[in-house]
Chains A and B, each alone.
Chain A
Amino acid sequence: MERIKTLETRNLCESAKNGGCGECQTSCQSACKTSCGVANQPCENTNK
């Protein structure tokens, strides 16, 4: 293995430019209802 393998991830700084469409699921609506996070919410922005 090379010394560093960088995974493909969404660039958060870039996402500030055209994010915030609000179409993604409300995180607490899916399965938790008691211990909310946002990391597992898929993005639904059609203009990414």
Chain B
Amino acid sequence: MIHCYKLGGLNIVLDICSGSIHVVDEVIYDIIEMYEYKSQEQIKAEILEKYTDREDVTPSEIDACFAAIEELKQAGKLFSPDTFAPIANNLKQKTAGVVKALCLHVAHTCNLNCAYCFASQGKYQGERAIMSYEVGKQALDFLMENSKGRKNLEVDFFGGEPLMNFDVVKQLVAYARSREKECGKNFRFTLTTNGILIDDDVIEFSNREMSNVVLSLDGRKEVHDRYRVDYAGNGSWERIVPKFQKFVEARGNKNYYMRGTFTHANPDFVNDIKEMLDLGFTELSMEPVVCAADDPNRLTKEDLAIVMEQYEKLAELMLERRKAGKPFTFYHYMIDLKGGPCIYKRVSGCGSGTEYMAVTPWGDLYPCHQFVGDEKFKLGNVWDGVTNTEMQQEFCSCNVYARPECHDCWAKLYCSGGCAANAYHATGSIKGIYKDGCELFRKRMECAIMLEALKAVDGEK
């Protein structure tokens, strides 16, 4: 399978199953597009007719193009067959049964009342609650005991708003650190926060202990304050931005993301990216809102068309800034062509329900944070482990080749089938697909690959 597209002044050909990427001139681009379903004679005739005014496009030159294409085919870099389908389930099994990441819901409560929150203001359709140290400690023990040979373990302090239970966060980090050496583990902690409770103590602790912090900011003040309000209805932008700036400045070169959500109210989200840049932030992520089909915040078809254009505008902005010596990172455009994930990861996906689970304040296990509150997805608890093995098997068998709609999608080995929760909410099955999300994902990948391809082409000049 191949995918051909034109973007950023480049003609790009992706060979999906080998992972190869070719930047080609327009003549060979046209030839490759026709190569598999037309004869060489037909292709030659069409190319000569199309490029009749080009002196360099001659029959012998077209023969040279055919030879170059055949050479790439022989090298397994073009039109490579999909050999992964029959082994996909086995690939995922290799990493199944080992838990390596937990999302700890240390607070099912929040000090903001954001209208678009998928976690219903942190309560996840349930009661307000905070996690006790005992439950959190048991969760960490569960993780260490079930992580087998994995060295790197990830724990995300999540909510609701995790800083509403900061003392427990600190105690849990101390406990994990006290055990990691004897267990041969390396804990990587992440904190996801709305910023309201950030103070010097939080900054000092997080910059010492958190591998990554995710800071929620939607960009422009009027956009942010439309949804991200307190219980009195007051916007939070002015309170949190100075805290985030201080936090990030003190963080040095440790990872962070400013993470925003865009909705029906701001499909022109690049303006929010620009606002974040103006505020001095350079590690950015903006995500389309996740909500029910009848939610007024949902992105409409018209919005999605705007968003697709915005992704291209964002790529242009990144190029401008890169050239001006003021680069920034956009989470979804980070792609390491040489050192990216192996085929196991690309087939298996995010690992929800197998490698990755969410833990509620009561110690219940769910496949991921987005399934919390939906009782039928409960996998077990941190004391007894996974007891709903039937449900876990469903997640274990969920790989990109288990999704019929993904079979013919060129992006399948970049996306690995996407988010199981989004698929479930859109179709009622975790093996379905969230079509709108697929469209956006494909556009993001085209932009991300184009940006990398331009680096390679520019480097050659």
Q: Which residues of A pack against B, CB within 8 Å?
A: 1, 3-13, 15-16, 19-20, 22-45
Among residues 304 to 363 in chain B, which have CB atoms less than 8 Å away from a CB atom of chain A? 331-346, 349-352, 355-356
**Assembly CA distance A41 to B351 (angstroms):** 13
Q: Among the interface residues A3, A19, A24, which one has the most CB atoms of the partner chain B within 10 A?
A: A3
A-B contact pairs, 7 of them (CB 8 A): A3-B24, A3-B28, A12-B18, A29-B190, A32-B285, A38-B415, A39-B448
**Assembly CA distance A10 to B282 (angstroms):** 27
Q: B343 — which chain A residues lie within 8 A by C-beta?
A: 12-13, 15-16, 19
Contact B457 A5 (CB under 8 A): yes
Contact B101 A39 (CB under 8 A): no
**Assembly CA distance A41 to B345 (angstroms):** 9
Q: B288 — which chain A residues lie within 8 A by C-beta?
A: 34-35
**Assembly CA distance A14 to B422 (angstroms):** 31
Smallest distance from the beta carbon of B56 to chain A beta carbons, Å?
A: 10
Contact A1 B214 (CB under 8 A): no
B355: contacting residue among A5, A22, A40, CB under 8 A = A22
Q: A5 — which chain B residues lie within 8 A by C-beta?
A: 22-24, 456-457, 460
B19: contacting residue among A1, A11, A20, CB under 8 A = A11
- Specify the chain B residue showing the minimal Cβ separation from A34: B290
Q: A34 — which chain B residues lie within 8 A by C-beta?
A: 118, 287-288, 290, 370, 419, 422
Q: A28 — which chain B residues lie within 8 A by C-beta?
A: 103, 350, 352, 356, 368-369, 419
Smallest distance from the beta carbon of B433 to chain A beta carbons, Å?
A: 12
Contact A9 B20 (CB under 8 A): yes
Asked if B83 is at the interface (CB within 8 A of a chain A CB), the reply is yes
Q: Among the interface residues A10, A23, A42, which one has the most CB atoms of the partner chain B within 10 A?
A: A10
Contact A30 B192 (CB under 8 A): no
**Assembly CA distance A3 to B418 (angstroms):** 34
Contact B17 A12 (CB under 8 A): yes
Q: B422 — which chain A residues lie within 8 A by C-beta?
A: 34-35
Q: B150 — which chain A residues lie within 8 A by C-beta?
A: 22-23
**Assembly CA distance A25 to B257 (angstroms):** 15
Q: A40 — which chain B residues lie within 8 A by C-beta?
A: 331-336, 340, 448
Contact A20 B340 (CB under 8 A): no
Apart from A5-B460, A12-B342, A22-B98, list 19 A-B contacts with CB within 8 A: A4-B72, A6-B21, A6-B77, A7-B23, A8-B337, A13-B83, A27-B351, A28-B368, A31-B257, A33-B370, A34-B118, A35-B288, A35-B440, A36-B349, A36-B419, A37-B416, A38-B349, A39-B415, A43-B339
Asked if B413 is at the interface (CB within 8 A of a chain A CB), the reply is yes
B72: contacting residue among A6, A15, A31, CB under 8 A = A6
Contact B100 A26 (CB under 8 A): yes
Stretch at the interface among B151-159, B176-184, B226-234: B151-159
Q: Contact flags (1/0) for B140-167 with A, using CB distance below 8 Å?
A: 0000000000111010100000000000
Q: B290 — which chain A residues lie within 8 A by C-beta?
A: 34-35
Q: Among the interface residues A4, A27, A40, which one has the most CB atoms of the partner chain B within 10 A?
A: A4
Asked if B373 is at the interface (CB within 8 A of a chain A CB), the reply is no
Asked if B27 is at the interface (CB within 8 A of a chain A CB), the reply is yes
